[in-house]
Amino acid sequence: MSISDNIIKFKKKISSKVKLIAVSKTKSIIEIKEAYDSNHKLFGENKVQEMTEKWKVLPKDIEWHMIGHLQKNKVKYIAPYVSLIHSVDSIRLLNEINKQAKKNNRIINCLIQVNISEEKSKFGLQINNLPDFFNQIIENSYESIEIIGLMGMASFTENEEKIFNEFTSLKEVFINLKGKFPRFSELSIGMSSDYKIALKQGSTMIRIGSKIFGYRN
C-alpha cells in the first residue's frame, strides 16, 4: 500500500467529522508531498526545527500541528505559521505562546495535554491539577490564544481495557470543560495502535503516523 492509498483508506473508515492528522515526523519532503497530492492538508510533527524546515519548502496551504513537547524558547519559530499546538502543559508556555502570537498578529489555537497514562515519561498535566490550571487560564484572559480542547496519549500496552479507561477519563473531563469554554470542540486522542478505541470514546482528531507512512527507523 502506498502513502496515498493509506490516507484514502483511513478517510473512508472515519467519520467526516473526525480530522486525520498525518504524523510525518522523520519522514521526507517527498513522502509528505505524496500525502499532500492525495489531497491531504493536515500534518503533525513533534520537533520545532524539523517542522519549520518542512513548512518552508512545502505548499503553504498545509496545516501544521505541533504534537510534541514544546519548549518555551522555541515557540517563536512556529508562531508565524502553526495551526494547532496539541501539547500545552504549563502556564509559562501559554504566556509565551500568547506573546508570540500577538507579535505575529495571529490567534494561535491550543489544546491542553493531559497525562492519562501512568507512564512517567509522558508529558502533560495530571487530571487533578486541571481545575486550578483552567482557573488560571480564565484569570489570564489571553488575547491571542484560543483553547479549543484536550490532547492525551494512552499507555503503550496491549491491554485494550486499560486504554479504554484512560480515554474515558479524558472524555469525561472534556465534556465537563465544554460547558465553561465556548470554543471547546477538539479531543485529540488516538494513534496508529489505539485509534479505534479513541474513536469510540469521541475522538475528534486522530494522530496517525506509522499506519500512513510505514514504520519509523
Ligand X SMILES: *Cc1c(COP(=O)(O)O)cnc(C)c1O
Q: Using CA atoms, how far apart are residues 122 and 115, in angstroms rounded to an integer?
A: 7
Nearer to ligand X, 5 or 132 (CB): 5
Q: Does 35 bind ligand X (CB under 6 A)?
A: no
Nearest CA-CA partner of 66 in 95, 123, 19, 23 = 23
DSSP string, 163-197: HHHHHHHHHHHHHHHHHH-TT--EEE---TTTHHH
Rg of the chain on CA atoms, in Å: 17
Candidate residues 191, 197, 199, 205; the one interacting with ligand X per rule CB under 6 A: 191
**Candidates 77-85, 134-142, 162-170, 204-212; binding stretch for ligand X (CB under 6 A):** 204-212
Residue 68 found at the interface with ligand X (CB under 6 A): yes
Q: Which stretch binds ligand X (CB under 6 A): 53-61, 103-111, 173-181, 206-214?
A: 206-214
136 near ligand X, rule: CB under 6 A: no
Q: Does the protein bind ligand X through residue 25 (CB under 6 A)?
A: yes
Closest by CA to 66, choosing from 55, 51, 49, is: 51
Residue with smallest beta-carbon separation from ligand X: 209
Q: Does 97 bind ligand X (CB under 6 A)?
A: no
Q: Which is nearer to ligand X, 42 or 208 (CB)?
A: 208
Out of 3, 18, 22, 23, the residue judged to bind ligand X by CB under 6 A: 23
Contact 108, 97 (CB under 8 A): yes
Please identify which residue in 67, 79, 125, 145 interacts with ligand X, judged by CB under 6 A.
67
Residue linked to cell 517542522: 51
Which H or E run includes 134? helix 130-140
**Site residues (CB under 6 A) for ligand X?**
23, 25, 46, 67-68, 153, 191-193, 207-211
